[in-house]
Structure 1
Amino acid sequence: MRNGILTSNSAGNSGPFPVTVSNYAPWSLTVAASTIDRKFVARMQLGNGQMFTNPTATIFYSDAWKDVMAPIVVSFSSRGPSPISPDILKPDITAPGVDTLAGWSPLSPSSVYYDDERSTLFNIISGTSMSCPHASGAAAYVKALHPNWSPAAIKSALMTTAYVMDPRKNEDLEFAYGSGQINPVAARDPGLVFDASETDYINFLCKQGYNTSTLRLVTGDNMTNVGAANSTYKASLYMPALISVTVEPSVLTFSAVGETQTFTVNVTGPAISQQPITSGAITWTDGTYVVRTPLVVYNYIPGAPYILDSGESMAPGSTPTFQHSSVYQKIGSIGHRKTHY
């Protein structure tokens, strides 16, 4: 990070259990793995050379799948929250990580069987080690277009332009997919970025071990204009009704590229003994650009299971508790009833 290099890491393959995410440093890009909702079947060749082909079928348009929810996070992809910094949302982003055609050492067996003597230069591989290169390549792509951008700015561009993933198919919500499915084309021109310096991260590290209410804000409240010189962005909030979120100011006006504006996010909600997880988003738009940051509210108790809630299935009259909140890669001051960013 000091040398202007973004570190891209795998989230790990210990899912679907919570708090299993690895590589959770706030300055790194932690990548989860996604898959699709169908399989592609080809011919199968046995060891004796005999070839089998499945019966063919005709697909009629009227019988096509409706309301598909792909991509989805694959079950083995490690989940958040971060075990050491629960205020920071991890993983950061999701990329394809299942059945990837990748290079393979001819010295290694081509299957999981140790006595497999076959040799191949390519193999079909699944894992966050496959999704991470997708994100690394996307980061390099953005860096090539914007060589002066910091690692934090590149990470922000990838996260705020990601495809929104469907919570109906991803029960762990942002703890599974972070900001969503990576969208490299949109990331090259994000409109706004959240930036952070080396000093910001050092201050964060120095505050580790303090009461969470004393943690300094790392990043997320300062937005830098990298889009049109004269632009006005308006904030839109997407949160469950029982959580109150306000943004001050709700309109940001920029007159030059590189100009920075500051905003504050306030989250309020009654304290109860339950431990739900709710999520939503703050979206800034000027009519051309859409800059989205996820907002996750949850009550963090080390070692306790997490009750996941998309906000749509909450019973009438129920009230969510929160102590720790995560917005993008931001550290917030934490309280039972009010959280400031």
Structure 2
Amino acid sequence: MKVTNYVKFLCSMGYNDTAISSITRDSSPCQRTPNFLLNLNLSSISIPELKHTVAVSRTVTNIGPILSFYVARVEAPLDINVIVEPSILFFNFTTKMLKFKVTFCSQLRVQGRYTFGNLYWEDGLHVVRIPLIVRSVIEYFYSET
């Protein structure tokens, strides 16, 4: 993650420009980005309200052998279809960072609970695990206080 990611995170959490500028020493205004929290480049993927289909992206950095490739393997959360694109990541002398997209589609038509799965990136020797946490919903519930 970079400093800009942390600033966007603070914006999405509701911090105002004044509070953020006191931390960052920069006066640029908050830029709210839709689905930013879902796309925050963390080592896990959490979808707290999956109503239909949601796609999230992640960026990974190769710290292994310079010439390497990793193949995706998914243990999908119960009643969730998971698609990873691309399903193979190739790293070489010039490509050290790559993006991939994970699309989640709920098969449930009832209000669901949190279900868990994993996305594995494997090269035959190493295994990188990304936990998947998903809660299917048919209605969004918000409490107004």
Q: What TM-score, normalized by structure 1, do the two folds share?
A: 0.29
Given the alignment of the two structures, is residue 264 of structure 1 paired with residue 69 of structure 2, yes or no? no
Q: Which has the higher contact order (CA 8 A, sep 6+)?
A: 2
Q: What TM-score, normalized by structure 2, do the two folds share?
A: 0.64
For residue 34 of structure 2, what is the aligned residue in structure 1?
Answer: 214
Shift of 1:273: 4.1
Q: Matches of 2:62 and 2:69 in 1, distance apart?
A: 10
- What is the number of equivalent residue pairs in this alignment? 107
Shift of 1:322: 4.1
**Structure 2: segments with no counterpart, 5+ residues:** 15-32, 43-57, 141-145
For residue 233 of structure 1, what is the aligned residue in structure 2?
Answer: 70
Q: Matches of 1:250 and 1:226 in 2, distance apart?
A: 19
**Structure 1: segments with no counterpart, 5+ residues:** 1-195, 299-320, 324-334, 337-341
Matched to 2:34, the amino acid is T
Whichever structure has more strand as a proportion of its residues is 2
In the TM superposition, structure 1's runs of 4+ consecutive aligned residues that sit over 3 Å from their partners are: 270-273
Determine what percentage of the aligned residue pairs are the same residue: 33
Shift of 1:240: 4.1
Q: How does 1:123-138 map to 2 (within 5 A)?
A: none
Q: Secondary structure at the match of 2:93?
A: coil
Shift of 1:271: 5.4
For residue 198 of structure 1, what is the aligned residue in structure 2?
Answer: 3
- Kept after mapping to 2: 8 A contact 1:281/1:295: yes
Q: How does 1:3-18 map to 2 (within 5 A)?
A: none
Cα RMSD, aligned residues only: 2.9
Q: How does 1:167-316 map to 2 (within 5 A)?
A: 196-209=1-14, 214-216=34-36, 217-220=39-42, 221-240=58-77, 242-256=79-93, 259-270=96-107, 272-298=109-135
Matched to 1:244, the amino acid is N
Matched to 1:215, the amino acid is N
